[in-house]
Structure formats: structure tokens, C-alpha cells
Structure 1
Amino acid sequence: MSLSHASSNHYCTLLKLCCETRNFTNAKNLHSHIIKTFPNPETFLLNNLIASYAKLNSITYARRVFDQIPHPNLYSWNTILSAYSKSGCVPEMECMFNKMPTRDGVSWNSLISGYAGCGSVYHSVKAYSLMLNEGSFNLNRITFSTLLILASKRGCVKFGRQIHGHVVKFGFMSYVFVGSPLVDMYSKMGLIVCARKVFDELPEKNLVMYNTLITGLMRCGRVEDSKRLFFDMRKRDSISWTSMITGFTQNGLDKEAVNLFRDMTLEKLEMDQYTFGSVLTACGGVAASREGKQVHAYVIRTYYKDNIFVASALVDMYCKCKNIKSAETVFKKMTCKNVVSWTAMLVGYGQNGYSEEAVKTFSDMQRYGIEPDDFTFGSVISSCANLASLEEGAQFHARALISGLISFITVSNALVTLYGKCGSIEDSHRLFSEMSFRDEVTWTALVSGYAQFGKANETIRLFESMLAHGLKPDKVTFIGVLSACSRGGLVEKGNKIFESMIKKHGIVPIQDHYTCMIDLFSRSGRLEEAKIFINNMPFSPDAIGWATLLSSCRFYGNMDIGKWAAEFLMELDPHNTASYVLLSSVYAAKGKWDEVARLRKGMRDMGLRKEPGCSWIKYKNQVHVFSADDKSNPFSDQIYSELKKLNYKMIKEGYVPDMNSVLHDVEDTEKIKMLNHHSEKLAIAFGLLFIPPGLPIRVVKNLRVCGDCHNATKYISKVTQREILVRDAARFHLFKDGMCSCGDFW
């Protein structure tokens, strides 16, 4: 249509369209036409222009239009006042309010809303008091709703109760718009009894109120009450169902959440990102891969298949279900990724044993310009800890200091764990001492660090100090303390701590605790006591528990208990090679080579192969991996030459190869050759060649170090005057001046 013939009403309609389409340019063009068309435009039209500019977040243009009105009416004042209020321009809002010739409830509400938006309880209360002084006729439902939301956000119980009193006094309890914020306020403050009382007394209830109370009952853990309310509802919408699913997930009831989602699909209700996000979290929580895939298929048929929130939840779900390939597929297909998406993939890699990929993902994330948060940082540091990569971990420590993320306890805790797992227990303790706040995770991280080092007495002292500080140890804490007792041979002390865990701290032992106790008895040679303990357990040990006992039977040469343990282990897990290997080592130590051959034939017949031992060492950001008799390394000639020189020096110092560490019936010369080329010796020789003098040589091994390698490394540390740190499958060994930190007890 030709704008030259447009009326004021036409312009108002077009301005409304500009606001709906968020088109600021068209609004300015219309403003230009209004100026050209109307020499003296009506106040009604100018008020609409002010409101349009305010909605388009252009407070400057809105004020210019207001200043051009010769005689602004109350609506004009309220419109510009509301604009200042919504944009958070508090000084301008106050100035405009004070200039108003007359005020009504809308004016006061704009002032109160402006203060509330800035979180200022004091000024909101002051404005509300002045409003009451002018007369309660100004009050309306928006006033109370605004103040109740403010009280809820700021956690002001006393203020909230006062507003509740005024709601009752001035007769606003019948308004649903006021009742719902009241229920929400009490719920968020944890006053669920008050919330329920308000809900029950309301004469009229709508879906919003029901949903608000359901959510409130779930933050407070009142699951059964929430379920009763949900099933009592005559009508339920998508929000009702989503609130319940989310509540179940938040309260650890993942199976119930998945089942409820299944029921929701039968209702054919529309679902949103929160519905899918919650049920996917629940699927991940119980590793329900099949159900998770079904939800994924459901998502693909909706508008949410490209939603960043849902896609991130899918990545997280697949990672928790140990389906890392599907997680990668979803992640790679995401057109847009944020810090949550990247962190989900990074954490997934770390939790599934792909620590190197986790560190690489962090680097990729940085290249895309995504800034990590404390959770991302903590996760990548944990991956460095799993890799025993001290250098990279130390670099992340430096970056955490520069970025300020070190102030987050998640990051500090990860660093305490990192240094502990990398054998730098002094650095771990120093960082622990520098922390201004420590929680149970912090203490447990240090306890576990000392335990891995076999420092039993220090671990126990730290544990007792933790208790003295009023912190509550958890299951992981006790695993650390009990393992320290087993590595230190403190049987009686470990027994007392195990009993106190049950009787004093009310913790029901899990398989790991029982495994620690089996290790405690068997490592100290008290194999009969270990057998009695196992027979008194409420359930049978797992494969690790039986293997632990069997390993000690090999060390102490106890064939009877060794055969007993091996039979149970073979029955529990026929394809576990540990039972065959450990039992054959018991027979080999006794010279029963026929039995060794029988076991090996049994393994061949079942298609089983012993897990190959390997060791690795990091040099110049590259990991060098070695296996026994390995000649794949480009520096193999130098490594074997170095080992030959070392062997000569060690023998001069009194080193004698331990033939019992060889499980093959071959000549002694062949046994010595096999011992000389074990994986950790190759890695140590590499370290001696390339790690600069003065720096410790750090080697990681996937299995427990054998007796001969342990003895040989003591001699190597003596003849080379180098510190050698070996982290095997059980603990740390720090070799220095011909001694090991474990005291030869491992």
C-alpha cells in the first residue's frame, strides 16, 4: 500500500510487524515516513513508536521520540520508564520516575522491576514501601510476582514471607499468576512444606502450579510426594512429564526416568531439548545403550536432531555406555559445538581409557577458539594423570594459574591427583597445602597419592588428619587407606580401619574394599587368613581378588591355596589368562614343568594368549613403547649396547639374575638373555641415553614389575647415580642409590 495514504492505525500495525521480525531498519524508515506525513503526529502514534524502539533495544531512539511529544500522557511516561527498566538503565529510570507528574500501578511496577532486574533487594523493598504509602490501589498481580521472583533468586526468606503476608492481606491469593511464584519461591528456598501448604490452599490451580510444585518436590528429594502429585493430576502436559523425568535423573533414579520417558512417548506429547537431555543422561547413568539408541532414533525424527544441547547429551550418553565410536560419529556431525560439546567428548575419551585422544581433543578445541571451563580443564589434567605425563600436566598447571582457573576446586583437585599419579608426591602435597579450600575429594586425592607410593604411615596420618578436620571419608578414601596398609604390611591396622569403615562410618564395603583386604593378608604371607576372610565374605571375590591371592601364592610358593584360588578364577572367568599364567608361575618356581606345559596347552586349546608386558617412557612429547626383546625402536642398537654395559657394571656390584622370574624350562644362559631384555629394562636404557642427567627417568609398565627387574633397577640406580621412577600396575617404585621406596615389599 502507499504510505502517503496510511493512517495512524496502519503505521501502528506496521511498527508491530517490525518488532515481531526484529527489523530495526524498517522501523526507522517508518519513523521517517511518519515525520514526512504528519506535521503534528498524534500522541497515540508516538507512544507506539517509543514502545517499538524499546522492544528493538534502541533506548536512545525511544528517548528522542519521547522528548518530541509536546504533552506526554501517562502512557507515554510509563512506556519510556518501562524501556529504561527492562534495559537495566537504573539511574535514567530513577530520574524519569521522579519527573513524572502522576503515577499509577504500572509506573511503580516498572520501577520495582528495574531494581529487581539488577538484583537490588534493598531498593525494590524501598520502592514497594513508597508505593504502599501512596495507596494500595496501585498494587496488582505483577507487583507481587516480581517481588516473589526477586526473593526467590536472592534467597531472602524473611522478605519472601513478608510479601506472602501482603498477598494474603490485599486479597491476591486467588490469582494464579501470584500463587505460582509463591510455590516456586518456597520450593527453591527448600521450604517444601510451606510450598505444599500454599499449593493446597489455593482456590484455583493450573498446570504451571502443578509443574512448579513437582519440580520443587524433586530439588528437595521428595520423590514419592512428587510421584503422587504427578499421578493425581487430571491433565498433564509436556512440562509435567519432563519435570518428572528430570527429577528422577537428578535424584539418581535413572531407570525410573527411562521408563517414564517410554510412557511419555505413548502419550504422543511434544518433547523438547530438556526432555531428551534428561532421558539421555538417565540412559548414560545406567549404561542403557539399547534404550539410548532408541532415544537417538526418536530424536532424529524431530526438530532437535541438530540441537547443540541434545547432541551434547547424545555424545555424553554414548561415552558412558562405552560406545566411543558412536559418540565420535555424533560429535563429528555436529554443525555447531560449544564448550559443553567438546568437554563431553573429551571426558568420554578419558573415561574410556583414550587419554591421548582426550589431550588431543583439548588442543583441537583451543584451535576452534573455544575457551575451556574448570570442568574441561580438570578433565584434561586427569587424562594427563592417567598417561603419567608430568610435563604436559605441569604445562596445564601453568595455564591454570595464568587463566585463574586454578581457583576452581575441580582444577586444583585434578592437579593434586596428577602429581600423585606421576610420582611427584611432594608437589602434590605442596599444592594441597596452598589450597585455600579443600573438600573430601582433595583429601582423598592426596591419600591415594601417598598410598600408591606405599607410604603407609604417612597415608594413615593424613587420613586421621582428614577425620580431625571434620571431613567425611567415602568409599574411595578407604580404598586408598586400605591399599596403603597392604603395601606397608600393616595387617592389624588395616583390619581396624576396615571395621571402622563399616561400624563407625556406615559404609557398606564394595568389591574393591574386599580385594584390598585379601591383598592385606596375602601380601604379608598370611595366606590361610586370606582364605578364611574370603570364605566369610558376603559374596565371592571378583577376578582381581582371586588373582591377588594367586599372585601371593606364587611369591610364597603355596601350591595348595594357589590351586584353590586358580580353580575359582578359572570358573569365574575361563578366558582370563591371569589364572593360567600365575598358577604356571607357581609350578615353575617348584620346578614342575610338566604342570606348566599342561597349563600352556590348555591356554592354546582355548585360544588364549598372555597379555604382553609393555613399558613406555615419554621424551620430547613422544611416547616410546617397548615390549620384551623389542627391536622396533629406531635407537635399538644403542639401547641394547647400553644394556650390555649396564649388565657388566651391575654384576661387578653383586647383581645376580633371578631365574625364578623366567617361566620357561630353558638353559640358564637363555633365561639370563630373556631377563636382560624385559620391557622396563629397555625403557630405562632409553631414558639413560636421552633423558639429561639430573632429571629422573620415569617409566610406566602395564603389569606388575617382576622380581628380577625390580632387583636389577636398584643396581642400575646405584651404578648410574640416577633416580628411576617406575609406575607398575600396582604402585610406584622410586629407585635411588640402590634402594627402592617400597622397601622390597610389593
Structure 2
Amino acid sequence: MLLPHLRLKSSFRPLRPTAVLPHRRHLLSPSPAASRIHLRQPNSISSPSINASPPLLLSEETCLRLISCSKSASPKQSSRVHSPILKLGLAGDLLLCNNLLSLYSKHGQPGSARKVFDEMPVRDIVSWTAIVSAFVQSGDEDEALRLYQRMLLAGFVPNHFTLSSVVRLAASLRDFDLGTNLHGFIIKRGFGSNFVLESGLVDFYSKCGLFDDACRLELMAGRDVVSWTTMISASVQAEDWRKTVSFYMAMLNDGVFPNEFTLTMLLSACSNLGSGHGDLVHGHLILLGIELNLAVKTALVDMYSKCGNLGSAVTALRLTSDSDVILCTAIISGFARAGDCTGAVSYFKVMLTGSAIHPNSFTYATLVNASSNGGSPELGKMFHCLTVKAGVEDDASVGNAIVDFYSKWSSQLEDPVRAFEEISSPNVVSWTALIAGLVSHGDDRSAMTALTEMQAAGVKPSSFTLSAILTNLSSQETVGYTQKLHAAMMKANLNTRDITVGNSLVDAYAKLVRPRDALNVFDDMSQRDFYTYTSLIKCLNLAGLNQEALSLIVPLRIELGSVDGFTLASFLSAAAGLAATKCGGQLHGHSVVSGLDAFSSVSNSLVDMYGKCGRIDDARVVFVSIQRPNVVSWNSLMSGMASNGCFSDALSTFEDMRIAGVLPDSVTFLIALYACSHGGLIDLGIDYFHSMEERFGLVPTEDHYVCLVDMLGRAGRLEAAAAAVESMGHSPGALVYKTLLGCCRLHGNLVMGEWAASRAMEIHPLDSAVYVLLAGMYDDAGRIELGDQIRRTMKARGATRSPGTSWIQPTSKESSGQASNDSPAPLEEIVLTLASTMEE
């Protein structure tokens, strides 16, 4: 029953002409007599002469007030106002329906709004604007676009409120055609000076990757804080951090003071500029006297934590007692990002006990990621249990973290698969985490199947998804899978548009040592970076195309303007492969001028280059200049000495390495065994071999057995060499038997040589080297007929010999002596030197 004071107040309201709202005639339909009675007796409440019209008008106003009050209530409570409207027969009232649409839109209930909209007998521009806005706010952009198109077909002209929602829709869809058409319509209708529309257009152009066009929008002279905040937000979205700061300075010069949203966006930019900029913004915040509310405080904590300044983050956290789950998650994320699992867990405990705040899905995802990145598998399993207990394991963000955790730390492939199956609505990150886990476990076939299922589920793979597969393929079918992915990427034009995908393809072909395919991808890419060039140079070096690798110096300098440390190290490896001392010296000079010689990859490559060029003294000089030599540095120096016949020096360096506290790796022992084999130090080499597993925990590989067999065989200990082959923990390869066969030929042991040759032919029947060695051994023993028979067999089986090639660089007076004392040359001279070297 309506309250009397409301009815009394409403009884003074005159009756609206029915011509204004024609759709209400079936509800009101007052007779002329009733209208006259109502006008004569305005103060009468219960007069029997009044028909149903005044109570209905009375109910409409009351319902409007209830709708207005419900906008601040919860969605469940606000939906109760709809029922009285239906019971009172006001479901066709245009004003009430429009207000209901606005109410449902505000509370994020587009389904309920759609039901009201579909049942409306008459609609106006307000109705259409409300329903479009409801679906835009809910994130259903496709349905919002369909409704907007229906509105236009119905003959309604959008007003500035409608345009505000549709511009926002175009920004969400990144629909350039729609946005530019709206921009033209806004100018044509004279809405160009509207702050809200201007801000929406700036956001649209920024999200379409046209930040410069957004900046060129001509704003009105009296820009307000909303316009400036939109520009700042757009620059943050475009990741133009310095432009963000410049906008803020221009805003202050314009006499406009920031609000809390401006400061949160500005602090977000400072997260990428460093805590120094963040300190200045924090100081300016205090200077302006802006209240440190929860949103600004959270932005401060997040900024300091992302900058690695956890002390300032904790200080900002304690400035006020206000706290919520977002703030707690920000500080936990800061400690997790720094690899401090203990700190993350301690603040999680404070969150549960001291603040009594319930963690959300992002909190749990952060903790699982902290366990994964911090190397704490037991802690990760504990947090997994907590997510199950909290009932959030099916959330996408939590599930993604769990899939990634088990992919990294579980040897059972079923664990990440089971975690993926628990996710209620897997997104592209979920699929990518699963595919990366499958590939990392060596199950390439399942990874490709998952990629197919992902596309069948309507989830489009991202560049990170494709890169995760290409980077980690390791099965025998890698070549076929790579080519299939390459074909799919070419069909979608991803390899030319997306630099991440292009780089992954180049890197994949580099690992497969397919330089021609890598070059084709490289040529098709519209944009390249240092990673692209480095991957291609490595591929060419692995294929022995060192000269082609060095020829990339010129295009690299033209396209990127400089050389980074990894690319320079790859060029040095190419120079080392060619023994191109002059070119290597010029690269060394550039590394000193540019300061790149401080990179360990560059200095190690310099040691390796000088060693392979026979300039051991220069290699020593570079090695001594390294502040903290790692195992690669020591291996490069040892390899240079051993390959130039300085076997004693190489083994002495090995002992110096151990004294320096650097643990040797498998490559170190390969070099040591090579030095012992060619230096005649057999017993020392055997001691080194046995010490690998006994003292350093390194399991000898087939390459180590090849060196051991070569060392024993050269010394004439063929029985010991054969015993070493038989003692291998895994099946010997053809190279081991070929090495033993070569030693048997050297010492004329036909019986053991025939046994080694037969075993090698069983493994690799088309290896011409085995036939050549065996035939040569028969020739040396005077059994020419057997040698000819082996050659005929080789020809019949199709085991043809590969022609030998050689490459010799002419030496000059400059390159044959010691290093020059002249100042290092700039990169331009490197190009000239390289050109002259290639001409020679």
C-alpha cells in the first residue's frame, strides 16, 4: 500500500496530456467527466468519484523514485522494483522502462535489460542508448554492435550519449572503420567540443595503435581533468612512458590539478621509468595535499614494488590503515616478483590474520607463480591445496598459474593436463601454458594436438602460443611440425606482421640448421630486431656459412643503427670460424669503443676468436681483462691452447680453473681429454675421465668416449679402447666405432678393425668414411683385392664420398704479428675491412 504522504503530495500533480505519451492511452483512458472531477477536487484522496487514473499516475512517480533509490542498492535488491511495475500494469510506460534499462545497465545485468527492451511497445533514442550501453559495459561487444546497427536501421539518429557508448565500443573492438566513421559523424553533428566524446576518441585511437593520431586530436581550450587523464591513460596504454610525464607537466602548466585517477595512471607509468620518477610523483602528491585514499595508496605500493624498491613499498603500505584485497595482492606480488617467497608468504599470513581480508583468485595466482619462479615446489603444492579449499581452482588466472607450475616442476605430464582440465573457461593463456608444458616434457605430438583443439574451441592462438611451440620442439618430427606451423602462419600472415612469431621461426630453423628457410623467413619479415639478426647469424655459423654471416653487418647497421652484445658475439664467432684475424680485430676495436667488451658473451667470443686464429697471446690478454671469468671463458682459453698444440698450457689452465673455484663442465673435460690424447699424457687423461663422474658428478657422453678411445688407440692400447667401448652405459654410436677403426688402421690390427667396421656398418650402412677406412687398412696390409672389393661394395650401396673443401684467408703483416697499439676503429671501418677481406 502506498504511503499517505506520498499520495497526498502526488495528488497535486496535474494530469499529463495523453498526446505526449500515446502508448499510455490503454492504461489511463480517462473519461472527460472523470478529468473534470479530478480538477475540481484536487485535495480529495478517497472520493468515490475519482476513477483509476490518479492512482496510476501516483504509482508511476512512486516507481520512478524507487528506481532512483535502487541505483545505489545491490543488484539483487534493485531487481525487486521491477515486480511492482508489472503488477501495476505499467510495463509499457516509456519513462519507467527507460529508467529500468538504466538501472539494469548500471548493475551489469544486460540479460534483464534485454528482456525489458524486447517487451517495450514503443522505444525512443533513450531506450536504444540504454540497451547499447548495457551490453558495452558488460563486455558483450558483438551484441552491442548488432543493437547499434538495428537502431540505425530503425531510423534513430544517435545523440551524444549514444555516441559516447559506441565510441567506447569501437575502442574495445579495435574497429578502425567504425571509429573513424563515428569521428566524422561527431564533427558533422557539432559534437567536436564535447569532453566525453573527445576522451573516447583519444582512447579509441590509442587502442588501435595510433597514439600519434590521438595526440593530434584538437582539444578545446578549456580542457578539464577528465580530458587530460584520458590523454595520460592513452600514453600509458601505448607504453610511451615519457610522453605520459610530459602530458602531466602540460596539464599542470594548463592550471588543471590531477585527481586520483590521474595519479594512478601516472604512477603506473613510473613503474617502467624507475622509482626516481615515482618518488617525484609521490612528493608532488604530498605537496598538492591530495588525500591518500586506497586507490592512490595501492598505485604507490604497486609502483615501488615493480621498481624493486620493496622498502618504499612497505613504507607506503603503512602510511594509512586502509587496506583491501587489491592492496594486499600488490605487496605480495612485489615480493614474488623479487623472488622473495618468504616475504610473499609472510604478507599473505598478515592478510589472513591481521587484516582479516579474504584473498581473491589473483592473490592465489600470484602465490602459485611465486612458488614456481622461486623454485619452491612443495610450497606450490600447498597453495594448490588452498585454491581447492577456497573453490577457485577453476578460475582462469589461478588455473593458468597451476598449469605453469606443474609444467615446470612435475615430471608427470598428467599433472599439468589435469590442472588444465579443472579450468572452467580456458583462455588463450591457459592453452599456451598447457602447450608449453607439453612441449617442455618432449611430447610434441600432444602439443600440436592441443593447438588444434584450441582452435576448434574458438580460442585464437597468440604469438606467445606459437613461440612456445617453436622454441621447444625437440622430437624427431620437429622439422615437419615446424614447416606445418610455418605454413599456418603464412596463411594468417603472422610471420610478416608479428615480430615475435617471425623471430621464433628464424630461431626454430636455426636450431634445425636450415639456413635457407631461416633466410626466407628473415626476408619476409616487415620488422626485425637484434634477436632476429642474432638467430640468423647463429644459424649461418652452425651451417658453416661464416662469410654469409659476416655479410649481415652492413644491413644490420643500416636497419638498426648499432650492434648489441649478443649480435657482436655472433659476428666474432663467424670471424673465428673463418680465422679472419683482420675482421675479428676490427670487431674487437668496436667492442672497446662501444663498451660492449664488458659483456661476458663478447669477451668470451674474443678469447675464442683469437684462439682459433692462432693468436694465443691476444687471447690471454682478453682473458685477463675479464673481471669474473666463467666456465665458458676458461673453456675458450683452454680450447685455443689445445688447438694450437700448447697441450701442457691447456692442462695447466685446467688446474688454474679448479683453483679459482670454477667448476668444470662436460666441454672442459672434452678439451682436457683432447689435450691428453694429442700430448701423449694417456694416464692423466684416464684419470680425468674417471674423475668426471666420481668427483664432479658429470656422466660421460658419447663424445667423451670418442676422445677416450682416440687417446687409447693413438697410444696403441687397442684392447683397452675396445673394452672402453663395451663398457659404455648406452649403445655406442657409429662415431665411436669409426674412431676405433681409424686407430686399428694406424696400428695395423686387421681383426679388431674388421670388427669395428662391421659394427659401424650395422649402425650406419651408408657412411662412406667406414668403407674408406677399411679399404685403406686392407691396402696398408697388402691385401689390395679386399680393398677393391670394399670400394665396389661402397659404390653398390650408394655410399658416395663428399668432396672436400677448404678456405684459406691470406695473411697480412698486420694480422700475422701481435695486436696493434692503435686506437680501436669505428664500425664503419669494420664494414670496409670486411669488404676488402671478402674480395681477397
Q: TM-score, normalised by structure 2?
A: 0.64
- Residue in 1 that maps onto 2:482: 292
Task: State yes or no: 1:322 paired with 2:513.
Answer: yes
Match of 1:54 among 215, 218, 232: 232
Q: Structure 1 residues 574, 267: CA separation in 2 closer, same or farther (over 3 Å shift)?
A: same
Matches within 5 A, 1:653-692: 691-692=812-813
Q: Structure 1 residues 47, 204: CA separation in 2 closer, same or farther (over 3 Å shift)?
A: farther
- Residue in 2 that maps onto 1:149: 333
Alignment gaps of 5+ in structure 1:
36-44, 70-75, 620-686, 698-746
Matches within 5 A, 1:486-525: 486-525=677-716
The 2-side partners of 1:412 and 1:28 are apart by 47
Q: Structure 1 residues 566, 198: CA separation in 2 closer, same or farther (over 3 Å shift)?
A: closer
- Residue in 2 that maps onto 1:85: 267
Per the TM alignment, residue 294 of structure 1 is displaced from its structure 2 partner at its CA by 1.7
The 2-side partners of 1:195 and 1:187 are apart by 7
Task: State yes or no: 1:452 paired with 2:636.
Answer: no
8 Å CA contact 1:486, 1:494 repeated in 2: yes
The 2-side partners of 1:695 and 1:26 are apart by 60
Q: Structure 1 residues 287, 424: CA separation in 2 closer, same or farther (over 3 Å shift)?
A: farther
Per the TM alignment, residue 278 of structure 1 is displaced from its structure 2 partner at its CA by 0.7
Per the TM alignment, residue 296 of structure 1 is displaced from its structure 2 partner at its CA by 1.9
8 Å CA contact 1:112, 1:124 repeated in 2: yes
Per the TM alignment, residue 360 of structure 1 is displaced from its structure 2 partner at its CA by 1.6
AA matched with 1:374? G
Per the TM alignment, residue 437 of structure 1 is displaced from its structure 2 partner at its CA by 1.4
Per the TM alignment, residue 525 of structure 1 is displaced from its structure 2 partner at its CA by 2.2
- Residue in 1 that maps onto 2:180: none
- Residue in 2 that maps onto 1:378: 569
AA matched with 2:623? F
Task: State yes or no: 1:422 paired with 2:422.
Answer: no
- Residue in 2 that maps onto 1:343: 534
- Match of 2:807, SS state, is strand
Per the TM alignment, residue 389 of structure 1 is displaced from its structure 2 partner at its CA by 2.3
The 2-side partners of 1:606 and 1:286 are apart by 25
After superposing the two structures, state which structure 1 stretch, 513-522 or 91-100, moved more: 91-100
- Residue in 1 that maps onto 2:47: none
- Residue in 2 that maps onto 1:530: 721
- Residue in 2 that maps onto 1:362: 553
- Residue in 1 that maps onto 2:195: 11
- Match of 1:32, SS state, is coil
- Match of 1:617, SS state, is coil
The 1-side partners of 2:789 and 2:216 are apart by 92
8 Å CA contact 1:183, 1:195 repeated in 2: yes
Match of 1:32 among 220, 227, 241: 220
Per the TM alignment, residue 119 of structure 1 is displaced from its structure 2 partner at its CA by 4.0
8 Å CA contact 1:385, 1:422 repeated in 2: yes
AA matched with 2:520? T
8 Å CA contact 1:97, 1:111 repeated in 2: no
1:287-315 CA-partner distances (Å, limit 9, x unpaired) = 61111112223323436343111111112
Q: Structure 1 residues 259, 429: CA separation in 2 closer, same or farther (over 3 Å shift)?
A: farther
1:689-726 CA-partner distances (Å, limit 9, x unpaired) = xx5599379xxxxxxxxxxxxxxxxxxxxxxxxxxxxx
8 Å CA contact 1:284, 1:320 repeated in 2: no
The 2-side partners of 1:370 and 1:252 are apart by 39
The 2-side partners of 1:363 and 1:405 are apart by 19
Match of 2:461 among 271, 279, 285: 271
Matches within 5 A, 1:69-80: 77-80=259-262
- Residue in 1 that maps onto 2:45: none
- Residue in 2 that maps onto 1:171: 356
- Match of 2:808, SS state, is strand
Q: Structure 1 residues 578, 86: CA separation in 2 closer, same or farther (over 3 Å shift)?
A: closer
- Residue in 2 that maps onto 1:283: 473
Per the TM alignment, residue 186 of structure 1 is displaced from its structure 2 partner at its CA by 4.5
- Match of 1:368, SS state, is helix
Per the TM alignment, residue 329 of structure 1 is displaced from its structure 2 partner at its CA by 1.5
8 Å CA contact 1:81, 1:107 repeated in 2: yes
After superposing the two structures, state which structure 1 stretch, 52-61 or 337-346, moved more: 52-61
- Match of 1:347, SS state, is helix
The 1-side partners of 2:640 and 2:212 are apart by 61
- Residue in 2 that maps onto 1:122: 311
RMSD: 3.6
1:400-423 CA-partner distances (Å, limit 9, x unpaired) = 222222222222222222222222
8 Å CA contact 2:305, 2:335 repeated in 1: no
The 2-side partners of 1:539 and 1:198 are apart by 41
The 1-side partners of 2:581 and 2:230 are apart by 59
- Residue in 2 that maps onto 1:181: 366
AA matched with 2:333? I
AA matched with 1:384? A
AA matched with 2:725? I
Q: Structure 1 residues 286, 97: CA separation in 2 closer, same or farther (over 3 Å shift)?
A: farther
8 Å CA contact 1:54, 1:62 repeated in 2: no
Name the % identity: 25
AA matched with 2:461? M
- Residue in 1 that maps onto 2:324: 140
Per the TM alignment, residue 191 of structure 1 is displaced from its structure 2 partner at its CA by 4.0
Per the TM alignment, residue 209 of structure 1 is displaced from its structure 2 partner at its CA by 1.5
Per the TM alignment, residue 519 of structure 1 is displaced from its structure 2 partner at its CA by 0.9
Per the TM alignment, residue 277 of structure 1 is displaced from its structure 2 partner at its CA by 0.3
The 2-side partners of 1:276 and 1:28 are apart by 36
- Residue in 1 that maps onto 2:816: 695
- Residue in 1 that maps onto 2:298: 109
Q: Structure 1 residues 149, 107: CA separation in 2 closer, same or farther (over 3 Å shift)?
A: same
Which structure: larger Rg?
2
8 Å CA contact 2:202, 2:231 repeated in 1: no
Q: Structure 1 residues 695, 51: CA separation in 2 closer, same or farther (over 3 Å shift)?
A: closer
1:184-226 CA-partner distances (Å, limit 9, x unpaired) = 4454434444444345335242211121233344455676554
Task: State yes or no: 1:307 paired with 2:485.
Answer: no
8 Å CA contact 2:638, 2:653 repeated in 1: yes
After superposing the two structures, state which structure 1 stretch, 556-565 or 359-368, moved more: 556-565
AA matched with 1:212? A
8 Å CA contact 1:50, 1:63 repeated in 2: no
Per the TM alignment, residue 234 of structure 1 is displaced from its structure 2 partner at its CA by 4.2
Q: Structure 1 residues 366, 162: CA separation in 2 closer, same or farther (over 3 Å shift)?
A: same
Q: Structure 1 residues 321, 86: CA separation in 2 closer, same or farther (over 3 Å shift)?
A: closer
8 Å CA contact 2:608, 2:637 repeated in 1: yes
1:567-622 CA-partner distances (Å, limit 9, x unpaired) = 44445444433334334433444455444544455555556655555543212xxx
Per the TM alignment, residue 157 of structure 1 is displaced from its structure 2 partner at its CA by 4.9
Alignment gaps of 5+ in structure 2:
1-184, 235-243, 271-276, 819-840
Q: Structure 1 residues 30, 531: CA separation in 2 closer, same or farther (over 3 Å shift)?
A: closer
Per the TM alignment, residue 274 of structure 1 is displaced from its structure 2 partner at its CA by 0.5
Q: Structure 1 residues 257, 494: CA separation in 2 closer, same or farther (over 3 Å shift)?
A: farther
- Residue in 1 that maps onto 2:822: none
AA matched with 2:226? N
1:373-392 CA-partner distances (Å, limit 9, x unpaired) = 32222222222222222322
8 Å CA contact 1:519, 1:548 repeated in 2: yes
8 Å CA contact 2:225, 2:259 repeated in 1: no
8 Å CA contact 2:229, 2:261 repeated in 1: yes
- Residue in 2 that maps onto 1:551: 742
The 1-side partners of 2:285 and 2:813 are apart by 73
Q: Structure 1 residues 352, 170: CA separation in 2 closer, same or farther (over 3 Å shift)?
A: same
The 2-side partners of 1:541 and 1:141 are apart by 60
- Residue in 2 that maps onto 1:243: 433
After superposing the two structures, state which structure 1 stretch, 437-446 or 526-535, moved more: 526-535
- Match of 1:525, SS state, is coil
AA matched with 2:426? R
The 2-side partners of 1:419 and 1:212 are apart by 47
